[in-house]
Amino acid sequence: MERTLGIIKPDAVSKNVIGKIISIIEENEIKIKAMKMVKLTEEQAKGFYYVHKDKPFFNDLIKFMTSGPVVLMLLEGENVIERWRKIMGVTDPAKADEGTIRKLYGTDIEKNAVHGSDAPETAEYETKYFFNALEVC
């Protein structure tokens, strides 16, 4: 069993597809062990995306991620880090496979509907960044 962090980003929340994305998670035998809807502060978003701080898209990304509420989810399942990334699709919705969440609900390479940790170390950092032990069922 593995754990990863999933986020439904502000574009998907404003498109009213939280339920559709959660359905996809459940259909794929992934368990939601913790979940909350929050509006990230600039400081919280910057801390979360610190690995991208030197990228040219960083400032816009922070603006986007703080533009409205997000749904944070701690996901659990077999091989869930890799499986959730596959279910999401690649970063650019235009290049994502048919049926992936980013293809279905993403807008562009920045506003791409969902987040997923990319490796065991980042999953560990990211799940602990947003959830403490008492919040995990």
Residue 113's Cα: distance from chain center in Å? 8
73-132 residues near Mg ion, rule: CB under 5 A:
118
CB 62 within 8 A of CB 46: yes
Binding string, 16-55, against ligand IDP, x = CB under 6 A? ------------------------------------x---
By beta-carbon proximity to ligand IDP, the closer residue of 48 and 131 is 48
What is the number of other CB atoms lying within 10 angstroms of the CB of residue 61?
17
Q: Does 83 bind ligand IDP (CB under 6 A)?
A: no
Q: Does 61 bind ligand IDP (CB under 6 A)?
A: yes
DSSP state of 97: P
CA 128 vs CA 5, 68, 90, 106, 124: distances in Å: 9, 22, 24, 26, 6
Binding string, 98-117, against ligand IDP, x = CB under 6 A? -----------xx-x--x--
CB 81 within 8 A of CB 120: yes
By beta-carbon proximity to ligand IDP, the closer residue of 50 and 57 is 57
Q: Is 115 a catalytic residue?
A: yes
CB 101 within 8 A of CB 114: yes
What is the number of other CB atoms lying within 10 angstroms of the CB of residue 42?
11
Choosing from 115, 116, 123, 131, which is the catalytic residue? 115
By beta-carbon proximity to ligand IDP, the closer residue of 118 and 124 is 118
Binding site for Mg ion (CB under 5 A): 118
Binding site for ligand IDP (CB under 6 A): 52, 57, 61, 91, 109-110, 112, 115, 118
